[in-house]
A and B are shown apart, each in its own frame.
Chain A
């Protein structure tokens, strides 16, 4: 977040989209268990325990239930609600699918959690001039790819406004705040809606007579800084629609992979190896472009019945070329049922990249080869397998 980067956005008006899934966890549960549709569903802690609500369906919200509320209170408000334990693995996999959609448009994706993210589409991969159009396409694609989950989008020229906008017309809504609308939009915004204003700050604001964005704008900078410290500066700026924070993708590429789905399932191993060879060449090129070296090779096989398996091997010498990849892939393929079973997809990936700063540290102290079975103590064992 150096000043250099924040200035980048000042050159021209940015196009920022905030995507927020509607009642994400609860919607996933309703999707996977259609009998829950139209019912108050609460995902989170046990209502008899000390847990809290992680998410709740819109039906549950009509009872005054909201996330972060104690599950026991939620139960009192709506005893007939269906309480479910979160299935994070499922949510993560849906979230990953959704992120893939974002990446079709831009690499400037900043995920805030599993169910929301900022996108900077000022320059996008599809060359689309309208951010609103992109937002609409994304919402449609999410709906299709996730089999019926909905999201809301906020479109504006900075993160602050985009985030507030996405919440403005939930569920399944798109709210656009253009630079022309911004002042009006902020003026009418209840102070509670400002990002960074919780109950305590709201109380303080109210005692100062600040109820809306308009009221906030009337307070001078020094006074705000006096009362709210460094946040005062932030409040002063956002009341004027100023927020230069860039969308910061935290994403680091962890693997390079390629896969192919066949028009017709194949069972000829020679043909499979030929295809894998082509994939390996593509990977070699990608590795070279990125200047990366990996140490783990993974083969992915999806059989005719959609059963999907992976086989991987980690090697000592870094992998850079297709021939090396294929040497291991061949052995990995022999370790699958490919050929005996028809195959509909094959994939190859290289991961476990060697960090450039670590490659220099080529000296490694070897451990004494104590045999592992002797003592059951985990510490002694960790010492033995230590790298």
Chain B
């Protein structure tokens, strides 16, 4: 294979896959990028076996063929060079010659035959979604995905088609067992999305999908054979779905309205951040008390001291109090757009429910801590 290619175009593609390629893997080929030159384009592929990404860019193809290159090294080289054009040429025994016209690199590489086969997105029924909608849905759920690794079956976002108020909606739900975030969105052509049952999209896949959708425009999405496929312009992303062992979340979403409170988001985030200063692994909880039109927040750390803040609210009901992890509040609040947040407090053993007018279809649940 031999190509001449625009350096900045190549850099853009190569930097997109940096978060996919494996840094440490017992399969060295997973730390490489596959380059396939064909006609007048080069296809760039990377995978960690759970997730695959392909991008196609124009190039002057001198000789067709495939090579692999260390994903990290090619990225570093492209970053350091200023030349507009880049030359890549395959030599004997998988040696690869690279040059920006000034410096010359000879890099050893792995045979392209070792590169894992890729699911081609042909034949997948795709529907178009506004990138913004997708970003919104992902941002409102991804933080609640459990951070625990090691085969934890909740390490993804449950995505399913539901009917709410006689309208077909796409729903995403994530939980780590302590909190849960759910969002429903409806969009054009949703009825043609082939998604008969709920699927679990892994967290890493969601994060890549988020990046892909973040540049605006529309993104095409579809599901086939335990994979989720997303396509935007010349790039596509294939995500292997996780087993869906999601608990029945419907039962935990309560609508009680025992102590409903409306509160400014900015005020609450700021207060929670201050409370967080005194919390640590051991003393995580902030005590929230609602009484006489005041929300009282107290964070106690026997090693350091105490923090306290009162926020004026409209609340005349009976006194209620419970402990919470302020980090969970901050995560949820930050994902919301509403300026006023509606809190629904039941008691110290039931989840706090967060909703907001500007966050249509969203509900966030946070379980208390026993103080």
Contacts and interface: CB of A to CB of B under 8 A. Distances in A.
A368 B179 contact: yes
Given A363-B284, A363-B370, A364-B370, A370 B178 contact: no
Nearest to A370: B247
A315 to B, nearest CB: 15
Contacts of A365: 178, 284, 325, 367, 369
A379 B152 contact: yes
Contact of A370 (B152, B249, B323, B349): B249
Nearest to A357: B282
Interface in A328-365: 360-365
A370 B248 contact: yes
Given A375-B245, A379-B245, A366 B154 contact: no
B175 A368 contact: yes
Contacts of B180: 368
A370 B365 CA distance: 12
Interface string A223-261: 000000000000000000000000000000000000000
B358 interface: no
B264 interface: no
B95 interface: no
The B interface, classified by DSSP as helix, strand, loop or mixed, is loop
B177 A383 contact: yes
Contacts of B367: 365-368
B282 to A, nearest CB: 5
A366 B368 CA distance: 6
A89 interface: no
Contacts of B175: 368
A377 B245 CA distance: 6
The A interface, classified by DSSP as helix, strand, loop or mixed, is loop
A317 interface: no
Interface in B158-180: 175, 177-180
B246 A360 contact: no
Contacts, number: 74
Nearest to A371: B251
Contacts of B177: 367-368, 370, 383-384, 386
Contact of A361 (B246, B247, B251, B282): B282
B288 interface: no
A380 interface: yes
A364 B160 CA distance: 32
B153 A379 contact: yes
Nearest to B252: A368
B369 A366 contact: yes
Nearest to A372: B247
A331 to B, nearest CB: 24
A111 to B, nearest CB: 34
A363 B153 contact: no
Most chain B CB inside 10 Å of its own CB: which residue of A360, A361, A368, A384: A368
A96 B333 CA distance: 57
Contacts of B349: 366
Nearest to B151: A379
B132 to A, nearest CB: 30
Contacts of A200: none
B315 interface: no
Interface in B105-158: 151-154
Contacts of B252: 368-370
Contacts of A369: 251-252
A10 interface: no
A363 B282 CA distance: 8
Contacts of B179: 368
B285 interface: yes
A289 interface: no
Given A360-B302, A379-B153, A368 B245 contact: no
Interface in A27-56: none
Contact of B248 (A366, A375, A383): A375
B34 to A, nearest CB: 34
Most chain B CB inside 10 Å of its own CB: which residue of A364, A365, A380: A365
B302 A380 contact: no
A156 B367 CA distance: 62
Contacts of B247: 370-371, 374-375, 380, 383-384
B283 interface: yes
Contact of A363 (B245, B251, B285, B351): B285
A258 to B, nearest CB: 33
A230 B30 CA distance: 45
B251 A370 contact: yes
B371 interface: yes
Nearest to B350: A369
A8 to B, nearest CB: 36
25 contacts: A360-B302, A363-B283, A363-B323, A363-B369, A363-B370, A364-B369, A365-B325, A366-B178, A366-B349, A366-B370, A368-B351, A370-B247, A370-B248, A370-B249, A370-B251, A370-B252, A371-B247, A371-B251, A374-B251, A375-B246, A379-B152, A379-B153, A380-B247, A383-B154, A383-B247
Task: Give 6 nearest A-B pairs by CB, closest first.
Answer: A370-B247, A377-B245, A374-B248, A363-B285, A383-B177, A364-B370
Given A363-B285, A371-B248, 8 more contacts: A366-B367, A366-B369, A367-B178, A368-B177, A371-B251, A375-B246, A379-B154, A380-B247
